[in-house]
Amino acid sequence: MRWKHATSVLASSGLLTVGLAVPITATADTSPTVTIGVGHSDPANQNGFNGNPVISYTDFFGRSVSVHRGDTIDFQTQPTEFHSIAVAPAVIPLPVFYADTDDAPAKGTGLPKVGGGPGLGKAFEPTTCGAQGTDPCVFDGTHAVDAGGIAGFDQNGPAAIDWNVQIASNTPIRDYAYFCYIHPGMQGVLHVVDSTATSDTGNQLETQSSQDQFAADQSEATSLISADNSAAPSGAAGSRTWSVHVGDTPSSRHTSILGMMPNNLPNVVSGDTVRFLWGALDPHSVGFGPDQFLPQPFGWDCGKSYVGIPPSNGPPPPPPPCTEFENGQPEIVLDPGTRGPGQGLNAQQVTDSGVLVGSAYGVNPGAESWSVAAAQPGAYQYHCTVHDFMVGTIRVSGA
């Protein structure tokens, strides 16, 4: 459901030499001592195709656990969630996106194009240990062990997916970190304690602390959805500014809301402006018109041009000759858009913001808003080319 094109495009590109691993539900070879929830299941708020925003839980349940040397931890990615997690001596802040200042700016923003960084690459590495049929990954405190990209799906649909890490017998007694590469701020503390000290056992998702944590995260997200959906325009008709949130993120960053909010503006008149606002987490685009006429969300950087990479179930085509290389790899950039902010809506012209990313990713210079001017009357449907369930409509009437 999430990252519709990213899985098939980035995982098969020259930037990422292996495909996204989606392991089937694991039965660990070593019984886990403690299970940590990676994200959270929330079926009422994770449909995606019922017209309501999706809540992704960019949080660990629990955020702090104590284990003994020799114990095994089951990091359980919850149904529909997508994360790339690691256990390491400390959080590794790899850039997920960066400002590509080499060539012409993005048409959608007038700022440098957005490139995919090494943190994004981690999300599409394979799971080499810890899943079903493999031994647990072993963490000895000296270097990170990575899960690769894990999505909460198996062959039958949404499912909890396990990734197991065993704490080596020689791991120094101290605190370590577990975190997600693609969601800045999603992290927890792993306390490796002496055998005489108390450790955590069982499923942390089921503890009262995690249940309270989930309730707080959910309440914060649903409150923000309600506020975003009820925002009123400012100014007089014909010169008003309407706001639409292209996803959103509460201040805690414990959830990422995927949806256009509000997703229907029925009373826009010619002369009004619709301003799209990006939340702190997740990349999104705003594209008007059928998907087949819009640029692919990820593509090859060809300097002054952009060549989108279509999703494919087979081997991808090689990068075109125009592709630029960085550190020996072909450069992948996000859709740079087709029209700058503030231009008029026109049913005969492709209007695409390009893929923008939120402030949490630290792209500098970067843009977190884009706008269109209401001009010709009509109904204009738009959607995100990364998350295909994020859709909206603007209805424009004459002034």
Residues 63 and 129 in one domain: yes
| Section 38-45 average pLDDT | 96
The verdict on residue 1 lying in a domain is no
The rounded mean pLDDT for the chain is: 89
| Section 53-75 average pLDDT | 97
Residues 168 and 315 in one domain: no
Q: What is the pLDDT of residue 23?
A: 47
- Of the candidate ranges 78-87, 162-171, 316-325, 377-386, the one whose mean pLDDT is the lowest: 316-325
- The CA distance from 64 to 36, in Å, is 9
pLDDT digits (tens, 9 = 90+) for 311-358: 766 666 788 999 988 878 888 899 999 999 999 998 888 899 999 999
The verdict on residue 376 lying in a domain is yes
The verdict on residue 229 lying in a domain is yes
| Section 276-296 average pLDDT | 93
Last residue of a domain, one of 219, 237, 257: 219
The verdict on residue 111 lying in a domain is no
The pLDDT confidence band at residue 116, using thresholds 50, 70 and 90, is: very high
Distances, alpha carbon 305 to alpha carbons 130, 318, 320, 322, 366, in Å: 42, 17, 11, 9, 19
Q: The tokens of 355 are what?
A: 């893929």
- The CA distance from 318 to 334, in Å, is 18
pLDDT digits (tens, 9 = 90+) for 233-283: 988 889 999 999 999 999 999 999 999 999 999 999 999 999 999 999 989
The pLDDT confidence band at residue 146, using thresholds 50, 70 and 90, is: very high
- The CA distance from 238 to 192, in Å, is 62
- The CA distance from 170 to 117, in Å, is 34
Percent of the chain with pLDDT strictly greater than 70: 91
Last residue of a domain, one of 199, 219, 239: 219
Residues 241 and 185 in one domain: no
Please count the other Cβ atoms lying within 10 Å of the Cβ belonging to residue 121. 23
Residues 201 and 291 in one domain: no
Residues 235 and 202 in one domain: no
Residues 297 and 183 in one domain: no
Q: 342 has which bridge partners?
A: none
The verdict on residue 112 lying in a domain is no
Q: What domain count does the chain have?
A: 2
35 within 8 A of 78, measured Cβ to Cβ = no
Residues 196 and 244 in one domain: no
Last residue of a domain, one of 165, 188, 219: 219
Residues 132 and 161 in one domain: yes
- The CA distance from 3 to 254, in Å, is 19
Residue 2: is its pLDDT beyond 60?
A: no
Provide the domain limits for residue 266: 223-397
The CATH number linked to 311 is 2.60.40.420
- Which position has the higher pLDDT, 124 or 162? 162
Phi-psi region of 301 (alpha: psi -120 to 50; beta: other; left: phi over 0): beta
- The CA distance from 117 to 184, in Å, is 13
Residues 313 and 202 in one domain: no
Residue 9: is its pLDDT beyond 50?
A: no
The verdict on residue 291 lying in a domain is yes
Please count the other Cβ atoms lying within 10 Å of the Cβ belonging to residue 263. 18
312 within 8 A of 12, measured Cβ to Cβ = yes
Residues 77 and 180 in one domain: yes
The verdict on residue 124 lying in a domain is yes
Q: What is the pLDDT of residue 227?
A: 97
- Of the candidate ranges 26-35, 167-176, 228-237, 383-392, the one whose mean pLDDT is the lowest: 26-35
Residues 6 or more apart in contact with residue 93 via CB below 8 angstroms: 184
Residues 192 and 304 in one domain: no
| Section 137-156 average pLDDT | 94
Q: What is the pLDDT of residue 133?
A: 80
Q: What is the pLDDT of residue 315?
A: 62
| Section 14-23 average pLDDT | 37
| Section 183-203 average pLDDT | 96
Residues 179 and 230 in one domain: no
Q: What is the pLDDT of residue 253?
A: 97
The pLDDT confidence band at residue 127, using thresholds 50, 70 and 90, is: confident
The verdict on residue 204 lying in a domain is yes
Q: What is the pLDDT of residue 380?
A: 95
Q: What is the pLDDT of residue 5?
A: 46
| Section 214-233 average pLDDT | 96
